[in-house]
Amino acid sequence: MANRKWQMAELVCCLLVVISSPGCRTAPPLPPADLQQPGWVVREGQAVWRTKREAPEIAGEVLVATRSDGRALVQFTKNPFPLVIAQITTTGWQIELPSQNKRYSGRGKPPTRLIWFYLPRALSGGPLPEEWSWQGAENSGWRLENWRTGEMIEGFFN
């Protein structure tokens, strides 16, 4: 009988922890960026992406669109399929990996481990996380790299 009371007490404690814990939920999906609206600066070109130091490089097309209010869209495509669609708004961020059927989003600043969010910032001369390095300029070849993980994007715009 004492064992049964102990089991009930454990069950009640577990339920209280679950009920009182805040729920984990990603932010709702961001609406697609309308690049036809005035104010967008769109750059298109070719890029090579390496996910980590030992990984093979993937060549594709890159599109970087920015606005003066801080919004940005980065898309990396291996024709005809988009591999990465990253979007930053004034209040949040979202990254989609259509080939993996995945989407991650959040409020505030984007995570420093996701290189695609930092390409617009690097192009504008903004500060980068400590582990990131930037070489080049918008009108020539450029390279953004996380020296800790070996992830990098390098390319040029048309």
State residue 131's pLDDT score. 92
Rounded to whole angstroms, how far apart are CA atoms 37 and 111? Answer: 27
All structural domains of the chain: 41-157 (2.50.20.10)
Per-residue pLDDT for 14 more than 50? no
State residue 34's pLDDT score. 87
Strand partners, 97: 102
Quickly state the pLDDT bin for 1 (edges 50, 70, 90). low
Tens digit of each residue's pLDDT (9 = 90 or more) over 23-56: 344 677 888 888 999 999 999 999 999 999 999 9
State residue 132's pLDDT score. 95
Sequence-distant (6+) residues with CB within 8 A of 53 are: 149, 150, 151
